[in-house]
Amino acid sequence: MVALAACAAPAAASAPSPDEEKLFAFEDPRITESSGLALSPTHDDVYYTHNDSAARPEFYAVGSDGRTRATFRLRGAEARDWEAMAATRDPETGRGVLWLADIGDNLDGAWPDVSVYKVTEPRTLADATLPATRYRFRYAGGGRNAEGIMVNPVTGRLYVVSKEFSGAVYEAPARLRTGRANVLRKVSAAPIMATDAAYAPDGSSYVIRTYFSATVYRPSGEVLTRVSMPELEQAESIAYTRDGKALLTGSEGADSPVYRVPIPAAAPSPSPPPSRQAAPEGTQAAADSPAASSGLTLRDVLIWLAAAAIAIGFITFLARRTR
């Protein structure tokens, strides 16, 4: 989370969608900063979440009634600033795979590297300590604050989405290594102050969430549609439903709710979509075109200008005080 963004968020909350549906609220008093959200690939009506920074390296399996069904801790892991999670299915075994991202960096480069943990989804929903594989990452262009990860279910490639005024999608190597830091490289632009991201179950699209709305993209980075989100205390998470026809979104805060929001029909594209199912890779042209991939709206620009004015005013105030 970023204090400056929090100042701007209330003034730009999205109007409620008439089709949105509140599924449940987290009842567990331990879940106070739900920052990541993922739908179980193998257990019906099971949702995974974890808390934000300064929490234990653990996550929760929650039923559709909002009650915690199991608590899982990662063996040997850290939770410096967990911000996101993703869920996929292993194509060879059919087992669920969970990804938990320790990628928050509110100082935009204070950490030399960030981490993502890969966990095999438990077959049984009972409290347990799980083994995890840790992958370390660094950005090719220097450190970034990030709150979103997504994994392409077709290619298996992981992406990190930075939370900045000029955010970006960063692509991990096709083969991840545990013995050294994997380099994340910018491949596309992202909306202003992105708080989460997710890939559709069939790999046909991905979504990036901000405090105010969500934007759905083709794997090439082309915008498909924008989705109004429900008003939430601090919108931090997003995921697809299993059929890919709707989005799930949640918030930080005690007793925070999870909503289901249908994805509206996208306008026909003037050109056919790319035949490959790769994620937003090889899309430098899209990154260079704000209309194609940045997801910026007039409201986003106004928010950016307001935030910039606040930052400049604060810096000016400090400069005068320190003369």
* The two structure tokens encoding residue 308: 């910039």
- Determine if the pTM surpasses 0.75: yes
In 3D space, the residue among 78, 72, 153 whose CA is nearest the CA of residue 113 turns out to be 78
Q: Alpha-carbon distance 165 to 305, whole Å? A: 10
State pLDDT tens for residues 187-221.
999 999 999 999 999 999 999 999 999 999 999 99
Q: Report the DSSP pairing between strands 133-139 and 182-189.
A: parallel
Exposure string (b/e) for 76-100, b if CB count within 10 Å is 16 or more?
ebebbbbbbbbbbeeeeeeebbbbb
State pLDDT tens for residues 71-87.
999 998 999 999 999 99
Window from 37-41, 209-213, 308-312 with minimum mean pLDDT: 308-312
In what helix (H) or strand (E) does residue 72 lie, and over which residues does it extend?
A: strand 68-74
271's CB contacts (< 8 A; 6+ apart) are none
Q: Alpha-carbon distance 19 to 11, whole Å? A: 23
Q: Does 163 reside within a domain?
A: yes
Q: Determine what percent of the chain is predicted with pLDDT higher than 70.
A: 76
In the predicted model, is pLDDT for residue 268 greater than 60? no
Q: Does 323 reside within a domain?
A: no
Res. 280 pLDDT band, cuts 50 70 90: very low
Q: Does 309 reside within a domain?
A: no
Residue 285 or residue 208, greater confidence: 208
Q: Does 321 reside within a domain?
A: no
Q: Does 3 reside within a domain?
A: no
In the predicted model, is pLDDT for residue 318 greater than 50? no
In the predicted model, is pLDDT for residue 100 greater than 70? yes
pLDDT (0 to 100) of residue 104:
93
pLDDT (0 to 100) of residue 111:
87
**Between vectors from CA 211 to CA 185 and to CA 307, what angle results, nearest 5°?**
85
**CATH code of 31's domain:** 2.120.10.30
pLDDT (0 to 100) of residue 87:
98
In what helix (H) or strand (E) does residue 316 lie, and over which residues does it extend?
A: helix 298-321
Residues 171-196 have a mean pLDDT of: 96
Res. 290 pLDDT band, cuts 50 70 90: very low
- The string of DSSP letters for 225-238 reads EEEE----SSEEEE
Residues 60-64 have a mean pLDDT of: 98
- Cβ atoms < 10 Å from Cβ of 316: 10
Mean pLDDT of the chain: 83
In the predicted model, is pLDDT for residue 291 greater than 90? no
pLDDT (0 to 100) of residue 183:
98
- The string of DSSP letters for 6-51 reads HHHGGGGPPPPPTT-EEEEE---TT-SS--EEEE-SSSTTEEEEE-
Window from 130-144, 219-233, 274-288 with minimum mean pLDDT: 274-288
Res. 11 pLDDT band, cuts 50 70 90: very low
Q: Does 86 reside within a domain?
A: yes
In the predicted model, is pLDDT for residue 54 greater than 90? no
Q: Does 206 reside within a domain?
A: yes
Going 244 to 186 to 192 to 265, the CA torsion angle's sign is: negative
User: What Rg do the C-alpha atoms of the chain give, in angstroms?
Assistant: 19
Res. 298 pLDDT band, cuts 50 70 90: low
Instruction: Determine the structural domain holding residue 211 and report its residue range.
Output: 12-295
Q: Does 307 reside within a domain?
A: no
| CA 211 to each of CA 45, 140, 305: distance values in angstroms, whole numbers, following the listed order | 26, 27, 16
- Cβ atoms < 10 Å from Cβ of 291: 10
Q: Determine what percent of the chain is predicted with pLDDT higher than 90.
A: 69
Res. 320 pLDDT band, cuts 50 70 90: very low
Res. 106 pLDDT band, cuts 50 70 90: confident
pLDDT (0 to 100) of residue 140:
95
Please state the separation of Cα 257 from the chain's center in Å. 17
Per the structure, how many domains does the chain have?
Answer: 1
